[in-house]
Amino acid sequence: MIKLGCSESLPSGWSWIKAQDSIDIRDGTHDSPKSVAEGIPLVTSKNLISGSIDFSTCSYISEEDHHAISKRSKVDDGDILYAMIGTIGNPVIVEKTHEFSIKNVALFKFEKSEVFNRYIYHFLNSPLATRQFENKSRGGTQKFVSLGNIRDLEIPLPPLPEQKRIAAILDKADAIRRKRQQAIQLADEFLRAVFLDMFGDPVTNPKGWDVRSIDELCTEIVDCVNRTAPTVDYPTPYKMIRTTNVRNYSLETNNVRYVSQDTYLKWIRRLEPKIGDLIFTREAPAGEAAVVSTDEKIFLGQRTMHFRPDRKQISSEYLMFELMGSGVKRQIEKMHAGSTVTHLSVPECKKFKIRVPPLGLQNKFDAIRMVVLQSENVRAVAAEIPLFESISQKAFAGGF
């Protein structure tokens, strides 16, 4: 078997298998069926979100095209769907309420009794599976993995009763994590409402705040590496932050890749990220922002930008909410009207128009956000995320 950088020795009764040896893995149509106003939903990779299918964003195909697709890739309850293109992953266990077809989605069918679907579902969400797919993914703007890569996935497989025990533990841990994550979502909604009340609508600017280009409000703006830096398969003090680590007003530094010290020193640009700096994504997706809140050594990957705000003019927290607000989103839409994939250039990012209210008012908003983030529920979520990842990592190494 392939050495994966994880524990090579497994507990008694466990074995490494290839996914295709115990699971029937297929994919959907390779064609582009004609869209119709009413018909059967066509589920693609972009419709797999947070463990469920977002049917509201699906296009529709005729029943004739659906039947042609389902002859090869009929989807049933208990199957797992896995995104093959774009944001690779996002597995979903199917609970069918109506018929649908699939495209750019891998279909795991569990017709053999020695494999439990919920065990595989959690494994597909684990860093061990993610690393394998990332190492094999291809493409530039749109990353993708082939059906062959997915069939070759290496899985540590225990006996069926142990699979069910591990899945039950991870189900409970994941349920707790999801419930607590709702606290963060509510906090974000509250803070967006406070921001809107304090500063007005970013598009119409009813309070008449001064508007300036972002390059006038930062002491440094740096584009990050423009090609893929070599990573290592073991933890180091040097974490690579990619666009997938910048989400929902926060910088996720737990599920990251690592680089060696030599790579860090060779590839780091003139500006090392410090606490209070902002990271902004130019693509995949464009327009996400987060404030650096750690003094860890951070190495920024492709399609990210690094802003260092001039604290005499603008606060980091205010700038993050302004970048994530409807004003900048509207600017991005105008820049890339009609484009299927948004790719922001460095000059475009430097010219975003930002409102500049009095610094004292910005600092007041920062203080409100700090109080919200220090609430018990939100702090519990922050602790839960690395805890769940630790539990998951131990589970698939036979650690409990």
Name all contacts of 144-151 with Cβ < 8 Å and 24+ positions apart. Answer: 144/84, 144/85, 144/86, 144/88, 144/104, 145/84, 145/88, 146/84, 147/25, 147/26, 147/27, 147/84, 147/106, 150/19, 150/25, 150/82, 150/84, 150/106, 151/18, 151/19, 151/20, 151/25
Q: Is the pLDDT of residue 254 over 90?
A: no
In angstroms, the Cα distances linking 193 to 155, 180, 189, 263, 331 are 45, 21, 6, 42, 21
Instruction: Tell me the pLDDT tens digit for each residue of 84-140.
Output: 987 788 999 999 888 999 999 999 999 777 899 999 999 998 888 888 887 777 765
- How is residue 60 written in tokens? 């529709």
Residue appearing with tokens 């060779």: 266
Query: Which residues are CB-neighbours of 175 under 8 A, at least 6 positions away?
Result: none
Q: Structure pTM?
A: 0.63
Name which residue leads in pLDDT, 1 or 159.
Answer: 159
Q: What percentage of the chain reaches a pLDDT higher than 70?
A: 88
β-strand 89-93 against 80-83: which pairing, if any? Answer: antiparallel
Over the range 357-396, which residues count as b (16 or more CB within 10 Å of their CB) and which as e? Answer: beeeebebbeebbeebbeeeebeebeebbeebbebbeebb
Identify the pLDDT of residue 321: 95
Cα 238–chain centre separation: 20
Most confident of 262-271, 320-329, 335-344: 320-329
Identify the pLDDT of residue 106: 95
In angstroms, the Cα distances linking 27 to 86, 104, 339 are 16, 7, 27
Q: Is the pLDDT of residue 250 over 90?
A: no
Average pLDDT over residues 306-315: 94
> Nearest to residue 103, comparing CAs of 71, 143, 134, 73?
73
Most confident of 174-178, 267-271, 372-376: 174-178
Total residues found in the chain within this entry: 400
Q: Which segment of 126-140, 288-302, 379-393 scores lowest on mean pLDDT?
A: 379-393
Q: Is the pLDDT of residue 317 over 70?
A: yes
Q: What is the DSSP letter of 339?
A: -
Q: What is the DSSP letter of 77?
A: T
Virtual CA dihedral for 228, 231, 235, 239, nearest 10 degrees? Answer: -20
Identify the pLDDT of residue 79: 96
> Nearest to residue 240, comparing CAs of 304, 313, 299?
299
- Whole-number Å distance between alpha carbons of 355 and 321: 11
In angstroms, the Cα distances linking 80 to 10, 32, 117, 245, 328 are 25, 22, 7, 25, 37
Q: Which segment of 162-176, 253-267, 371-385 scores lowest on mean pLDDT?
A: 371-385
Identify the pLDDT of residue 3: 42
Average pLDDT over residues 232-251: 84
- How is residue 12 written in tokens? 């008694």
Q: What is the DSSP letter of 33?
A: P
Q: What percentage of the chain reaches a pLDDT higher than 90?
A: 48
